[in-house]
């Protein structure tokens, strides 16, 4: 009898645990707890900007992208937006950098009023729901994503800790350098380990008797015209 009661108790506990576990899983599914991280590709999205233009995934092709999700009532967003403004001011003249802010469940009139109050010039798009934001994460703003020219996320910042202007600029610059052409990357290598060897090869090339003449080659390298010729001819040596 005792064995039977004990067996029933064990079965009952197993059922309770199964139901409890199921509730936890369902709750997680309902929340859709996820976030894109470095190494993930940008999702397909399209939004209308405040100036009437369209911003979509393809807009970031070939550019270093900075996407900022925010809500003006969010205390951390209020702290971060001035930082984003500084970053925007730094790179707004650079055609290789595209920075855009996208609101999370906030109307255009609210965002516009906040922008005017704080004299922001940041390009923005307002979204009345979480549809776009949910493609990137299920929670937490501010959320800042830095992407490369291939549309791959290279860095993500949220509220823990908030990003500084220096940190964002450092990441943007790192991706910009990575965006340089192969020739430009190789010239930069002259500053790194093994660069002296490459630099020596360059001077050997300058002094080669068969390459017109030394003065001509010096003129070409001083004007930057020799880069493509040298690299294309000696690509295998680099």
Same domain, 130 and 229: no
- Domain holding 160, by residue range, is 46-178
The CA-based angle 59-60-66, given to 5 degrees, is 120
**197 pLDDT above the threshold of 90:** no
Same domain, 75 and 138: yes
Same domain, 162 and 230: no
Same domain, 86 and 136: yes
Residue 14 lies inside a defined structural domain of this protein: yes
Residue 6 lies inside a defined structural domain of this protein: yes
Coil, helix or strand at residue 140? coil
pLDDT digits (tens, 9 = 90+) for 131-190: 999 999 999 999 999 999 999 999 999 999 999 999 999 999 999 998 654 444 433 333
**23 pLDDT above the threshold of 70:** no
pTM recorded for the entire structure: 0.65
Please tell me the distance from the alpha carbon of residue 76 to that of residue 158, in angstroms, as a whole number. Answer: 9
Q: Are 163 and 154 in contact (CB under 8 A)?
A: no
Q: Which residue has tokens 């090869």?
A: 201
Same domain, 203 and 218: yes
Query: Up-side HSE of residue 226: CA atoms within 13 Å toward CB?
Result: 19
Question: What percentage of the chain has pLDDT greater than the value 70?
Answer: 61
Query: What pLDDT is attached to residue 7?
Result: 53
Please tell me the distance from the alpha carbon of residue 68 to that of residue 81, in angstroms, as a whole number. Answer: 9
Same domain, 143 and 188: no
Query: What pLDDT is attached to residue 22?
Result: 28
Question: What percentage of the chain has pLDDT greater than the value 90?
Answer: 60
Please state whether 22 falls in left (phi above 0), alpha (psi between -120 and 50) or beta. alpha
């Amino acid at each position: 009898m005792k064995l039977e009661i004990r067996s029933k108790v064990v079965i009952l506990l197993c059922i309770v645990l199964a139901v409890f576990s199921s509730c936890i899983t369902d709750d997680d599914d309902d929340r859709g707890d996820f976030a894109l991280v470095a190494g993930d590709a940008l999702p397909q999205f399209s939004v209308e900007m405040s100036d009437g233009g369209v911003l979509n995934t393809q807009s970031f092709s070939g550019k270093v992208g900075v996407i900022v999700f925010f809500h003006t009532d969010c205390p951390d967003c209020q702290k971060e937006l001035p930082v984003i403004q500084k970053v925007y001011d730094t790179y707004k003249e650079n055609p290789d950098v595209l920075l855009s802010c996208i609101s999370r469940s906030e109307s255009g009139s609210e965002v516009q009023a906040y922008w005017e109050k704080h004299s922001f010039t940041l390009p923005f798009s307002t979204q009345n729901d979480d549809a776009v934001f949910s493609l990137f994460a299920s929670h937490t703003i501010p959320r800042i994503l830095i992407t490369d020219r291939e549309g791959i996320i290279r860095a993500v910042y949220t509220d823990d800790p908030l990003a500084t202007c220096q940190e964002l600029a450092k990441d943007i610059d790192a991706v910009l350098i990575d965006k340089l052409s192969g020739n430009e990357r190789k010239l930069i290598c002259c500053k790194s380990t093994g660069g002296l060897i490459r630099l020596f090869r360059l001077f050997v090339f300058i002094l080669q008797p068969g390459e017109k003449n030394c003065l001509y080659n010096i003129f070409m390298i001083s004007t930057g015209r020799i880069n493509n010729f040298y690299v294309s001819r000696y690509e295998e040596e680099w």
